[in-house]
Structure 1
């Protein structure tokens, strides 16, 4: 089993989940309502708001996952844990 792949995957998934939770709370604080879900029945969300949310959420989650993956790799490369 490759420990590095396992640790970096877990770190990336955890960071993505945390970033999504933070983004949801931030969206509520800024706009005053729930973020868009992509549900076709949700007629209250404008197309512009949907596009902005998609762009922001994609950037935030990608940044968090990349940061976590690099941090996990750096931690593994420091020698604190065996790689295999």
Structure 2
């Protein structure tokens, strides 16, 4: 398997995880409660709040993963890491 694909995939996963954690912290700071989890039993969340959280978190995670993938790809293509 190509080393660049492995490094790029790991970077995208790490960026998505970090973005998700950051969104959770910001959401809790802004709203004062935990972000929506998608549980059907969670009756304290309004539909509007759920939609806003889904849109914001999806956009931020997608941006973070795309940025990490592109940046890692450029970094690897410059030859800073020796190809196996």
- TM-score (norm: length of structure 2): 0.96
What's the counterpart of residue 46 of structure 2? 46
What's the counterpart of residue 56 of structure 2? 56
What's the counterpart of residue 8 of structure 2? 8
Moved over 4 A (4+): none
What's the counterpart of residue 81 of structure 1? 81
Instruction: Provide structure 2 residue ranges, at least 5 long, that are not aligned to the other structure.
Output: none
Query: Aligned partners of 2:76 and 2:14: how far apart in 1?
Result: 17
Alpha-carbon distance, 1:55 to partner: 0.1
- TM-score (norm: length of structure 1): 0.96
Instruction: Provide structure 1 residue ranges, at least 5 long, that are not aligned to the other structure.
Output: none
